[in-house]
């Protein structure tokens, strides 16, 4: 049964195997909230794999209207022999399955954890840069910026009138 699903969409299965291998490796991490997110992602993937495998390599969709055209051949309307319907895709869940919801919640947990850890790391770096005493301070940068602005504005005023005359002469010679 799983070989048929492998033939339908091999890239999805390769990606899921790689993701599962990575997630199992990281589950042993020291951060328990990370572990919770990873377990939720794995649980969602397993739930979806379980329901598709037991339903002849298809994902039954509860409440799918007859006019609805699924995105791929894996989605089918619920039949009398469909199994594990509580794990199937459901119209009431906006065509998501319970496994999809659990997996996405795990991804949200992981995203928040990653954001918080990166934020802490970069905030330490910014604070360290701000507190360093070597190099120029803000006043010296402001003076350099003012000098550069005076030079740029003066150059534009000097060249501006001449550039206008040059463009006027070129335009009149073209006519």
Is the overall model pTM greater than 0.85, yes or no? no
Decide if 98 contacts 47 (C-beta within 8 A): yes
The string of pLDDT tens digits covering residues 135-172 is: 666 777 888 888 988 988 887 777 766 767 777 777 78
Indicate the Cα dihedral angle 25, 87, 13, 23, nearest 10°: -10
Decide if 43 contacts 35 (C-beta within 8 A): no
Choice between 104 and 19, residue whose per-residue pLDDT is larger:
104
With H, G, I as helix, E, B as strand and everything else as coil, classify residue 62.
strand
Choice between 136 and 101, residue whose per-residue pLDDT is larger:
101
CA 89 distance to own-chain centroid: 23
Nearby residues of 31 by Cβ (< 8 Å), 6 or more positions away: 113
- List the structure tokens of 71: 């995105």
């Amino acid at each position: 049964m799983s070989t048929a699903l492998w033939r339908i969409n091999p890239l999805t299965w390769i990606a899921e195997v790689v993701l599962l291998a990575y997630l199992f490796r990281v589950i042993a991490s020291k951060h328990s909230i990370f572990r919770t997110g990873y377990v939720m992602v794995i649980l969602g993937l397993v739930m979806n794999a379980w329901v598709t495998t037991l339903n002849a390599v298809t994902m039954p969709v509860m409440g799918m209207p007859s006019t609805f055209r699924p995105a791929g051949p894996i989605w089918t309307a619920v039949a009398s022999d469909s199994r594990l319907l509580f794990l199937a895709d459901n119209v009431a869940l906006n065509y998501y399955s319970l496994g999809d919801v659990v997996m996405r919640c795990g991804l949200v947990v992981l995203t928040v954890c990653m954001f918080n850890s990166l934020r802490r790391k970069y905030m330490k770096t910014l604070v360290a840069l701000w507190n360093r005493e070597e190099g120029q301070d803000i006043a010296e940068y402001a003076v350099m910026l003012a000098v550069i602005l005076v030079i740029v504005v003066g150059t534009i005023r000097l060249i501006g009138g001449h550039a206008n005359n040059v463009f006027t002469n070129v335009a009149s010679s073209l006519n």
